[in-house]
């Protein structure tokens, strides 16, 4: 009998890569979730099963979780992640889910008080006491931040807010493939934490690699941490507390409290038997997008 794996976030950056990678495992029945009712039919055609699930409405959980064995457990960029995560863990326990694969952040130091990192750590602690088998994924900065919703490339400039300090980078393709393997293989990954930080680079080094691949002349615009919130919300309004956490992490990378963000720690070889994708390899894969954004 096939294992039913519920994949959250399939309309977003990582969930879609997880679901796509899971399709190679014949032992798995994929069920994807979305709040977008008008996309459910198409998602069903693509992945097999699709269900409506709104993390802000626990009344939608029972039906979505019926007969589910494992969950790829992802929340979005909002402080609501806290209550959303508690609610889904409670429901998973009630419905007899066997394995939660949680997407967290690169948090090797438990003594951490940047808000969004601390929230992920508290969610992981809640999962642990729930008694459900778990695996925690800890990716460092997504390379997709440059091509995806964060829009870190604008007007021919790539922006980062660590004031020139280095960070660790990861290709989401690797996290997606690794997460799918963990979900498909199940019990050998119970209770484990996996780290995804393949290559360390400053913004200037990243942009050099992008330009070598694209032949364009993107400029590295290293900004001070304090500029981040001003750039994403110039009027200072409607800033989700999650992004105040992101601003805080830039501050702490800059002053050294979170210097570990600039370290390599890579379980891609452990999980997939090959090296993680380098920045240059990732840029080659995303060359067309980078050219369009650099122009
Ligand atoms: N950016 C980074 O560098 C970085 C690094 C480490 C970790 N992370 C973590 O990555 C996660 C975000 O991943 P991502 O970039 O793939 O996200 P994303 O592209 O923003 O996609 C978010 C997904 O979550 C779903 N979603 C949002 N709110 C929901 C709700 N109320 N109920 C049900 N589904 C909901 C959306 O689905 P529908 O709209 O279809 O419902 C969407 O598919 C966060 O937990 C973040 O902390 C990010």
pLDDT tens-digit readout, 124-144: 999 999 999 999 999 999 999
**268: pLDDT strictly greater than 90:** yes
pLDDT band for position 295 (cuts 50, 70, 90): confident
Q: What average pLDDT does the segment 203-222 reach?
A: 97
Specify the ligand 1 atom closest to the Cα of 56. Answer: 31
Specify the pLDDT at position 151.
77
Q: Where are the domains of the chain?
A: 3-140+171-196
User: What percentage of the chain exceeds 90 in pLDDT?
Assistant: 96
Are the C-beta atoms of residues 251 and 177 closer than 8 Å to each other? no
Q: What ligand 1 atom has the least distance to the C-alpha of 139?
A: 6
Give pLDDT, residue 128.
98
Q: Ligand 1, residues 7, 9, 147: which to mutate, most atoms within 8 A of Cβ?
A: 9
- Helix (H) or strand (E) holding 51, with range, is strand 49-52
What pLDDT score does 203 carry? Answer: 98
Q: For residue 253, what is the DSSP state?
A: H
Q: How many helices and strands (H and E) does the chain possess?
A: 12, 14
Residue in 76, 120, 124 to alter for ligand 1 test, most ligand atoms within 8 A of Cβ: 76
Q: Which two tokens stand for residue 208?
A: 């050099």
Cβ atoms of residues 194 and 178 within 8 Å: yes
What is the model's pTM?
Answer: 0.98
- Does residue 142 line the site of ligand 1, with CB under 6 A? yes
Average pLDDT over residues 8-20: 98
Atom of ligand 1 nearest to the CA of 14: 16
Q: Nearest Cα to 252, choosing from 194, 167, 170, 169?
A: 167
288, pLDDT greater than 90: yes
Residue range 178-183: average pLDDT?
98
In this structure, whether the domain defined by 3-140+171-196 belongs to CATH 3.40.50.720 is answered with yes
Distance of CA 212 from the midpoint of ligand 1 (Å): 31
User: Beta-carbon neighbour count of residue 270 at 10 Å?
Assistant: 11
What was the pLDDT predicted at 201? 98
């Amino acid at each position: 009998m096939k294992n039913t794996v519920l994949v959250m976030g399939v309309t977003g950056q990582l969930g879609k890569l997880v679901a796509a990678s899971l399709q190679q495992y014949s032992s798995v029945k994929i069920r994807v979730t979305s709040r977008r009712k008008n996309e459910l039919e198409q998602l069903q055609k693509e992945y097999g099963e699709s269900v409506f699930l709104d993390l802000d409405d626990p009344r939608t959980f029972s039906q979505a979780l019926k007969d589910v064995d494992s969950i790829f457990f992802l929340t979005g960029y909002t402080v609501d992640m806290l209550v959303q995560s508690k609610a889904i863990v409670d429901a998973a326990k009630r419905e007899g889910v066997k394995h939660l694969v949680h997407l967290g952040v690169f948090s090797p130091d438990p003594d951490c008080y940047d808000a969004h990192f601390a929230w992920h750590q508290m969610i992981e602690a809640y999962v642990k006491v729930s008694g459900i088998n778990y695996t925690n994924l800890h990716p460092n900065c997504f390379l997709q931040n440059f091509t995806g919703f964060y829009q870190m490339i604008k007007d021919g400039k790539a922006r980062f807010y660590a004031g020139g300090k280095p960070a660790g980078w990861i290709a989401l393709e690797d996290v997606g493939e690794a997460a799918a393997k963990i979900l498909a293989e199940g019990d050998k990954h119970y209770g484990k934490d996996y780290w995804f930080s393949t290559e360390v680079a400053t913004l200037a080094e990243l942009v050099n690699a992008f330009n070598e691949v694209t032949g364009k002349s993107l400029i590295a615009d290293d900004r001070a941490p304090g500029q981040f919130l001003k750039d994403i919300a110039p009027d200072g309004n409607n800033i989700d507390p999650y992004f105040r956490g992101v601003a805080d992490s830039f501050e702490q990378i800059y002053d050294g409290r979170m210097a570990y963000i600039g370290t390599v720690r890579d379980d891609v070889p452990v999980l997939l038997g090959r090296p993680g994708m380098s920045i240059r390899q990732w840029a080659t894969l995303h060359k067309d997008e980078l050219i369009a954004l650099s122009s």
